[in-house]
């Protein structure tokens, strides 16, 4: 059958015209950057806009079990008899219905070959590092514990020569106990003070700023009266002298955040990926931890409930996360430290704390429920997936 040639011939003048027109347009715009799509989870906005959905089938096998040697007992909820946390995935708005994929431990380690990843901060950083260590162990059966250079907890992954470690520094700044001397009059029942040197990082991390290729900081959960009550308050020093007039605990936090951020800016090399993890929300329902506050629940919060739980305007039990975050945000302006904003996605998850399943008989009677840390497996695994996506993308781009 002869091909119909006529329509093609008719199109020819059009093509020529378009080509001529294109040539006539002045090429003032620079060429577009090479195509490098950001994987789902790796963009900063992926954590801050999205929703929880049931993990799409088929359910991937768990990366770790209650026997992972990196566990901390109090968060090993399955071993402590808690029913499993619901299998949910985070679907960032940017990912067109897709969910953040579970970290591929072997691929992550290969991409991080020869690198070191350090976390510095309070027990919420430890909660995250335990999830990361247990997940990565699935990619290297030779993984072993690693606790050097002042690390409180860590792992070494020999196949790809990767270190992941946590340095405990609950206030980030150095703080020391100063008892009130017996000879002195004990004013207002004060037993002693904790001296915080706002301009000196704590010993646990002061000398590791050049050791790691990725550093993730946090502080926030100790800046309250339950850790530092009126009889043993924080007193802030700068340049070796007490700050006058004395700062409130929240103003002290602001000063410490600013000065730690500037220490990081000046001491951590430019090529190191610097992240600052925002505050992890607590879910004490019906009262503080020492007033029978509870989180024995399997229900996620709804979007419209979040403000009433967390907005400081409503003065609820769990308001401190957003308050601390506002101070963090302010302190990081004009630095090259990037936010790792995990607060919003975690606010929904009232269902995923250890609550009464703490693994010790009297723990709840003494400490109340734990509605602050998270069960493992659980929410920190999604933090790990997001963090791993972000780190892998950074290494792949050759920035690190």
Q: Which is nearer to ligand NAG, 102 or 322 (CB)?
A: 322
Report in angstroms how near the CB of residue 399 gets to ligand NAG at its nearest: 22
Taking CB under 6 A as the rule, does residue 339 contact ligand NAG? yes
Taking CB under 6 A as the rule, does residue 278 contact ligand NAG? yes
Give every CB contact of residue 221 below 8 A, 6+ residues apart in sequence: 122, 123, 124, 170, 279, 280, 372
Stretch that binds ligand NAG, among 73-81, 84-92, 132-140, 323-331 (CB under 6 A): 323-331
- List the one residue from 123, 343, 346, 369 that touches ligand NAG (CB under 6 A): 343
Report in angstroms how near the CB of residue 109 gets to ligand NAG at its nearest: 29
Q: If we measure between CA atoms, which residue out of 156, 169, 159, 157 comes closest to residue 125?
A: 169
Q: If we measure between CA atoms, which residue out of 163, 109, 158, 111 comes closest to residue 136?
A: 109
Q: At what angle do helices 320-332 and 249-267 cross, to 10 degrees?
A: 40
Stretch that binds ligand NAG, among 31-39, 59-67, 173-181, 337-345 (CB under 6 A): 337-345
Taking CB under 6 A as the rule, does residue 48 contact ligand NAG? yes
Report in angstroms how near the CB of residue 48 gets to ligand NAG at its nearest: 3
Report in angstroms how near the CB of residue 137 gets to ligand NAG at its nearest: 29
Taking CB under 6 A as the rule, does residue 344 contact ligand NAG? yes
Taking CB under 6 A as the rule, does residue 176 contact ligand NAG? no
Taking CB under 6 A as the rule, does residue 206 contact ligand NAG? yes
Give me the phi and psi of 90, to 5 degrees please: -95, 125
Residue 112's Cα: distance from chain center in Å?
19
Please tell me the distance from the alpha carbon of residue 219 to that of residue 170, in angstroms, as a whole number.
Answer: 6
Q: Which is nearer to ligand NAG, 106 or 364 (CB)?
A: 364
Q: At what angle do helices 123-137 and 379-396 cross, to 10 degrees?
A: 70
Taking CB under 6 A as the rule, does residue 324 contact ligand NAG? no
Taking CB under 6 A as the rule, does residue 123 contact ligand NAG? no
Please tell me the distance from the alpha carbon of residue 339 to that of residue 57, in angstroms, as a whole number.
Answer: 31
Taking CB under 6 A as the rule, does residue 291 contact ligand NAG? yes
Residues lying near ligand NAG in the complex (CB under 6 A): 48-49, 203, 206-207, 278, 291-292, 325, 328-329, 339, 341, 343-344
């Amino acid at each position: 059958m002869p091909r119909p040639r006529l329509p093609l011939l008719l199109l020819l003048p059009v093509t020529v015209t378009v080509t001529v027109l294109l040539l006539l347009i002045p090429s003032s715009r620079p060429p577009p950057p090479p195509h490098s799509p950001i994987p789902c989870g790796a963009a900063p906005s992926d954590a801050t806009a999205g929703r929880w959905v049931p993990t799409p089938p088929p359910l991937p096998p768990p990366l770790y079990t209650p026997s992972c040697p990196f566990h901390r007992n109090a968060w090993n909820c399955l071993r402590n008899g808690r029913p499993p946390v619901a299998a949910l995935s985070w679907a960032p708005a940017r990912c067109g219905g897709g969910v953040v994929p579970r970290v591929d431990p072997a691929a992550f380690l290969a991409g991080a070959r020869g690198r070191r990843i350090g976390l510095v901060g309070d027990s919420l950083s430890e909660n995250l590092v335990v999830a990361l260590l247990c997940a990565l162990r699935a990619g290297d059966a030779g993984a072993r514990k690693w606790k050097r250079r002042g690390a409180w907890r860590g792992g070494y992954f020999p196949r790809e020569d990767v270190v992941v470690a946590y340095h405990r520094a609950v206030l980030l700044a150095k703080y020391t106990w100063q008892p009130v001397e017996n000879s002195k009059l004990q004013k207002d029942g004060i037993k002693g003070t904790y001296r915080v040197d706002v301009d000196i990082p704590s010993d646990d991390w002061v000398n590791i700023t050049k050791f790691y290729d990725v550093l993730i900081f946090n502080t926030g959960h100790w800046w309250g009266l339950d850790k530092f009550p009126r009889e043993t308050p924080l007193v802030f020093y700068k340049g070796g002298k007490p700050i006058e007039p004395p700062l409130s605990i929240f103003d002290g936090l602001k000063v410490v955040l600013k000065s730690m951020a500037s220490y990081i800016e000046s001491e951590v090399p430019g090529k190191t990926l610097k992240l600052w993890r925002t505050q992890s929300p607590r879910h004490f329902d019906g009262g503080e931890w020492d007033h029978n506050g509870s989180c024995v629940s399997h229900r996620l919060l709804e979007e419209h409930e979040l403000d009433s739980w967390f907005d400081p305007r409503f003065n609820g039990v769990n308001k401190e996360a957003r308050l601390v975050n506002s101070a963090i945000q302010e302190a990081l302006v004009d630095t090259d430290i990037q936010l790792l904003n995990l607060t919003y996605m975690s606010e929904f998850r009232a269902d995923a704390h250890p609550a009464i399943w703490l693994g010790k008989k009297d723990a709840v009677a003494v400490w109340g429920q734990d509605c602050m840390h998270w069960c493992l497996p659980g929410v920190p695994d999604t933090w790990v997936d997001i963090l791993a996506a972000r780190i892998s993308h950074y290494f792949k781009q050759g920035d690190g």
